Amino acid sequence: MGEQLRRRPTLADVARMAGVDTSLVSRVLRNDPRGFASAETRERIRAAAQEVGYRANAAARGLRSARTMTLGLLLPGFSSPVYASIAHGVEERAGQHGYGLVLGTHAAGDPHETITDMLMHGRVDGLLVASGRIEDRALRRLVGQVPQSVVLVNRQVRGVAASVVLRDADASAVAVAHLAELGHRRICGIFGPGGLDTMVRRRLGFLAECREQGVEPAVVEMAERDQRAGFDGVGRALARDPRPTAVVAGTFPMAVGALAGLHDAGIAVPRQMSVVALHNDGLADYLVPRLTAVAMPTERLGAEAVELALALVNGGEPRRVVVPDPPRLVRRESTAPLISND
Amino acid sequence: MGEQLRRRPTLADVARMAGVDTSLVSRVLRNDPRGFASAETRERIRAAAQEVGYRANAAARGLRSARTMTLGLLLPGFSSPVYASIAHGVEERAGQHGYGLVLGTHAAGDPHETITDMLMHGRVDGLLVASGRIEDRALRRLVGQVPQSVVLVNRQVRGVAASVVLRDADASAVAVAHLAELGHRRICGIFGPGGLDTMVRRRLGFLAECREQGVEPAVVEMAERDQRAGFDGVGRALARDPRPTAVVAGTFPMAVGALAGLHDAGIAVPRQMSVVALHNDGLADYLVPRLTAVAMPTERLGAEAVELALALVNGGEPRRVVVPDPPRLVRRESTAPLISND
DNA sequence: GTGAAAGCGCTAACAT
DNA sequence: ATGTTAGCGCTTTCAC
């Protein structure tokens, strides 16, 4: 019959119940190698803990050990499928290491505030920044204060040594190569703002592969990278002379918007215009037509970011990581061989 | 010239620098009403804190005050637009109250583990459960252990007293009324699993409004509520005899799937079949055709859940809240007047 | 194999 | 208006 406690049970409660000292309870419950209690005592302690429903208080533990076992993840918002996927990868891998996740977005407030609060108050052991929107300067300033624990996700910034990115240039190349193989010779790339380094890499990869393939490239640069930007961007692509016969959209939402824009313009996809998205998403199979896309390992991106962050937390050196998995073409219905040359 | 500290500055550092006691620093920095320091001292303390870059240690503060200033949010995953929107509402409102957000999903692991960990270890002051997938029993068990701090979001469970839901039945009614006004007399509702209480309410509202409007209802119940379920579900709807002339999809992704399914079946929307989605999303404007949808106040749902949780944390009584904002029809291109009776 | 004691950084009750 | 004191619950030497 355990005494009924009104308050949260503490180590002391368990210790009293098992007739041992708190320190021993602590060691046993954490499987501390230095806590080699006799099998019998161990059992008694475990039973007592079980009985009162003991749960270590995270604050006390964190205060004492200076480890929160929590990682922070800073996102631009919850909406984009790419960020959802990254977040999923982060959460899963963090969980495998026994780490929890504190989430912050900066859709509304001042990004630098959020960042500062999480790291500076010691709420998290490390911070993953997966937002393209925070200014480089703010980032450098932050990292100047706590260099050991900030990892950039899907982004590189001069002066920040720890980052994980994907093979963006190769993704563009895969898209272009696919279209070239289908016979397209005038391809338009619709990209987001040139200030975002993913976009820079994708555009460079696009241009390089066009040259490689003997394809005439056109580039449209938009101020955003959402559906509307794709919708508007494809209008600009159609105005080009000579008109391209295929489009590479810099993001998945842009491709969705491009599809809508082409439909509104009365251009049939893929008969009159082929469309490829950079990044894949479950939605692709439910669009009309089903969207050909270049799949990128976004979950793994999140997972690798966690690994790097934990390495830093444990005193490792900052590194620039490129997730090695190659981008992979998922062929669906929005691309087809070039038919007429006009 | 401030001494350069290697370690994180603490209250004691600031106190020493300002030539006062730590307790005074604590009070001044928190604007504690009982800490009426002289303007001059206050300034000195603020300056010192600024100089060394003092940030209160969250663990120590949490340990002492038994408040973490953090809320937990349990989601089924990051993908669904509805959950993204709820999460956004939660984060924003929590932030307004100075609360941070710990995120947990249970896409992969055992949901009850995640829940337990967050609440039981005192990492969060309250927990918002926005997952339809966790079994009622597990939920009741959890709430039995920590009744004061668990709020169900978009869900009601017998035995759990604190919850916030939307006017689901009214959303269905809005959709049906719209279709009835367009002349439709045979409407099919495609819903997710009957075990989810949102789905129950939407189906009931659907049937009630059909009766009200003198419309012949058909109901298709799917095991999921994603795009695929909508795709497959619309196939089942088409097989009904007499064939319905309009479809109400129980979720937004289901409507997306339904659109795709109808296209594959060669049924023109809205000429041959009207489609309405329950819940709205930015994607609606970029589908072909643009999707008519019933907008529901999901961000506010999240915000209200935060309010309720904080009320509980502060000793308030659990309540069942229904967000009062009425569902609102957003008319786009996927619905049209009934043309032929066959 | 187990216990005693100190202290992480902060807040709050009680002085003065 | 400011300082003293105690202690939140845990981990960690160091002793025995």
**Mean pLDDT, to the nearest integer, of B319-327?**
97
A211 min Cα distance to partner chain B (Å): 33
What pLDDT does residue B340 have?
A: 59
**Mean pLDDT, to the nearest integer, of B194-206?**
95
A141 touches strand D (CB under 7 A): no
Residue B117 has pLDDT above 90, yes or no: no
B122 touches chain A (CB under 8 A): yes
A7 touches strand D (CB under 7 A): yes
- pTM of the shown model: 0.92
What pLDDT does residue B109 have?
A: 52
Residues of chain B contacting residue A67, judged by C-beta atoms under 8 Å apart: none
Residue B135: pLDDT band by 50, 70, 90 thresholds? confident
Q: What is the Cα–Cα distance from B84 to A103, expressed in whole angstroms?
A: 13
pLDDT tens column, A74-97: 888 878 889 989 999 999 999 899
Task: Specify the amino acid at residue B182.
Answer: L
* Weakest mean pLDDT among A32-41, A102-111, A117-126, B257-266: A102-111
A22 touches strand C (CB under 7 A): yes
| A–B CB contacts, 8 A cutoff, strictly below | 144
Residue A2: pLDDT band by 50, 70, 90 thresholds? very low
Contact B227 A286 (CB under 8 A): yes
pLDDT tens column, A162-209: 999 999 999 999 999 999 999 999 999 999 999 899 999 999 999 999
Structure tokens at B338: 């009934």
Measured on CA atoms in the order B121, B122, B123, B126, is the torsion positive or negative? positive
Pick from B88, B121, B260: CB nearest A58: B121
Q: Do A252 and A277 contact (CB within 8 A), yes or no?
A: yes
pLDDT tens column, A207-234: 999 999 999 999 999 999 999 999 999 9
E-state strands within chain A = 70-75, 100-105, 126-129, 150-153, 163-165, 186-191, 216-221, 246-249, 274-278, 292-295, 320-322, 328-330
Average pLDDT over chain A, rounded to whole? Answer: 91
Residue A4 has pLDDT above 70, yes or no: no
What pLDDT does residue B52 have?
A: 92
Pick from A87, A102, A120: CB nearest B55: A120
Q: What is the Cα–Cα distance from B26 to B19, expressed in whole angstroms?
A: 14
Task: Give distance CA B26 / C1' C13 (Å).
Answer: 15
Average pLDDT over chain B, rounded to whole? Answer: 91
A84 touches chain B (CB under 8 A): yes
**Mean pLDDT, to the nearest integer, of B265-281?**
97
What pLDDT does residue A142 have?
A: 77
What pLDDT does residue A106 have?
A: 66
pLDDT tens column, B208-241: 999 999 999 999 999 999 999 999 999 999 999 9
User: Which CA-bearing residue is nearest the C1' of C6?
Assistant: A64
Pick from B84, B101, B288: CB nearest A288: B288
pLDDT tens column, B58-98: 999 999 998 999 999 988 887 888 998 999 999 999 989 98
With b meaning 16 or more CB within 10 Å and e meaning fewer, what string describes B245-269? bbbbbbbbbbbbbbbbbbbeeeeeb
Contact A55 B120 (CB under 8 A): yes
E-state strands within A222-313 = 246-249, 274-278, 292-295
A214 min Cα distance to partner chain B (Å): 33
A256 touches chain B (CB under 8 A): yes
- For B66, residues 6+ apart whose C-beta sits below 8 A from its C-beta are B122
B233 touches chain A (CB under 8 A): no
Domains of chain B: 2-64 (1.10.260.40), 68-166+299-322 (3.40.50.2300), 168-297 (3.40.50.2300)
Residues paired with residue A127 on neighbouring β-strands, in sequence order = A72, A150
**Mean pLDDT, to the nearest integer, of A22-40?**
88
User: How far from each other are the two terminal CA atoms of chain A, in whole angstroms?
Assistant: 87
Structure tokens at B143: 């709430």
B49 min Cα distance to partner chain A (Å): 13
